[in-house]
């Protein structure tokens, strides 16, 4: 299956949203493929008909999802906890690592990567971007402010700048490496072991196409063993059904971070999404999204529009295109059924694997028209 294989056309039929919309907005929220909706609906059907008769089966199914999610990022199942969103995962990580000291992050970050540290009074040093690019040298020990932890997004929400996680793993030099995968997981492969990531938090509702509430956090075995969690619930312990009110015997796995009864529907949606993406193949998806992104960038530039996202090694599946009055531009496109996100400098266009060259063309046409209308009202 190559980046231009006809199979990509067939895949579109799995996404009901695509018959209604030109959906170039997975960087905000990904539409659901049918198997994901079916997994969540199946759970609600079982709950509606049987109450908690399926509790044991659901618990078992959740563990199967945990194993699939772990394989997706090359972690151990014991290192994965289900969380509703990035912010929850990041707070779990910060509770484990905050006492270690200052953090090195950067100015392109989405705030869920930085605020949980700042809120706890932990200094966060902000690396500047140079022409929209975060350079690995800026994070190198000796060239950057001293820090116990590097906290970065794999792909930046602001301009799509993609980092080479393997390079970060190589230069971390005794520091913890914490990664936000919300703008990359589902579009690009991540291997937490090969890249020496200590902890990773992600939402499920963007490129993973799993819907809201379907995030997860990876915490390496080393960190689980080294630091007790700040928060626990009744299911964080070894034998929850002994209902022991006198002592906390923590589970040895990342399940200790999950507070109370599981959110089964989003967990099953996440499992179906990871299975769906894995069947296509994450390497193939990465090839496809990069191809579509390059195609979009080329077409925009040919029409004289300015692309603010970095290319080359830092290219991702997001393109920030400079336009006057970005909210008006996004509204103009929306009128035509084309969904993108307004940003301060322009509109962010996200090309996921299910998007087509025709959709890219119609977005380019609409932007050209918008710029003409805007400059000669």
Residues that bind ligand PLP (CB under 6 A): 85-87, 110, 112, 153, 157, 180, 182-183, 203, 215
Question: Do 36 and 241 contact (CB within 8 A), yes or no?
Answer: no
Work out how close the CB of 226 gets to ligand PLP at its nearest, in angstroms, rounded to a whole number: 25
Question: Do 62 and 262 contact (CB within 8 A), yes or no?
Answer: yes
User: Nearest CA to 345 among 319, 325, 331?
Assistant: 325
Which residue number, 185 or 280, has a Cβ lying nearer to ligand PLP?
A: 185
Instruction: Tell me which H or E stretch contains 104.
Output: strand 103-106
Which residue number, 183 or 351, has a Cβ lying nearer to ligand PLP?
A: 183
Q: Which residue is nearest to ligand PLP (CB)?
A: 157
Question: Which of the 8 DSSP states describes residue 48?
Answer: H
User: Nearest CA to 229 among 78, 97, 117?
Assistant: 97
Which residue number, 316 or 371, has a Cβ lying nearer to ligand PLP?
A: 316
How many CA atoms lie within 13 Å of 235's alpha carbon, on the beta-carbon side? 12
Which residue number, 87 or 319, has a Cβ lying nearer to ligand PLP?
A: 87
User: Nearest CA to 32 among 265, 216, 270?
Assistant: 270
Work out how close the CB of 156 gets to ligand PLP at its nearest, in angstroms, rounded to a whole number: 7
Which residue number, 3 or 118, has a Cβ lying nearer to ligand PLP?
A: 118
Which residue number, 1 or 126, has a Cβ lying nearer to ligand PLP?
A: 126
Instruction: Taking each helix axis as running N to C, give the angle between helix 264-280 and helix 55-72, from 0 to 180 degrees, rounded to the nearest 10.
Output: 40
């Amino acid at each position: 299956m190559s980046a231009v294989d006809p199979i990509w056309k067939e895949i579109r039929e799995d996404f009901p949203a695509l018959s209604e919309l030109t959906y170039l907005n997975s960087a905000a929220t990904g539409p659901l493929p049918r198997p994901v909706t079916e997994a969540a609906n199946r759970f609600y059907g079982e709950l509606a008909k049987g109450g908690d008769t399926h509790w044991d089966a659901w618990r078992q199914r959740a563990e199967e999802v945990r194993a699939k999610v772990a394989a997706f990022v090359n972690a151990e199942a014991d290192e994965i906890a289900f969380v509703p969103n990035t912010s929850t995962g990041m707070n779990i990580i910060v509770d484990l690592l905050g006492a270690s000291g200052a953090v090195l992050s950067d100015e392109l970050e989405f705030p869920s990567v930085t605020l949980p540290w700042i809120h706890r009074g932990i200094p966060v040093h902000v690396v500047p971007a140079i022409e929209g690019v975060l350079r690995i040298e800026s994070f190198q020990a000796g060239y950057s402010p001293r820090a116990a932890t590097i906290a970065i997004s794999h792909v930046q929400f602001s301009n799509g700048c993609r980092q080479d996680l393997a390079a970060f793993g190589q230069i971390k030099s005794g520091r913890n490496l914490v990664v936000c995968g919300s703008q990359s997981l589902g579009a690009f492969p991540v291997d937490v072991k090969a890249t020496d990531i200590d902890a990773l938090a992600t939402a499920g509702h963007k490129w993973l196409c799993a819907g809201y509430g379907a995030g997860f956090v990876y915490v390496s075995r080393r960190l689980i063993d080294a630091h007790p969690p700040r928060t626990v619930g009744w299911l964080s312990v070894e034998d929850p059904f002994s209902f022991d009110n006198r002592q906390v015997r923590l589970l040895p796995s990342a399940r200790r971070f999950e507070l109370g009864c599981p959110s089964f529907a989003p967990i099953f949606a996440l499992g179906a999404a990871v299975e769906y993406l894995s069947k296509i193949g994450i390497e193939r998806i990465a090839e496809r999204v990069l191809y579509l992104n390059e195609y979009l960038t080329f077409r925009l530039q040919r029409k004289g529009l300015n692309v603010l996202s970095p290319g080359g090694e830092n290219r991702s599946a997001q393109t920030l295109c400079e336009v006057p009055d970005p909210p008006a531009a996004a509204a103009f496109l929306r009128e035509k059924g084309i969904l993108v996100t307004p940003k301060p400098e322009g509109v962010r266009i996200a090309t996921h694997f299910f998007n087509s060259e025709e959709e890219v063309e119609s977005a380019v046409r609409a932007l050209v028209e918008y710029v003409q209308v805007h400059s000669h009202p």
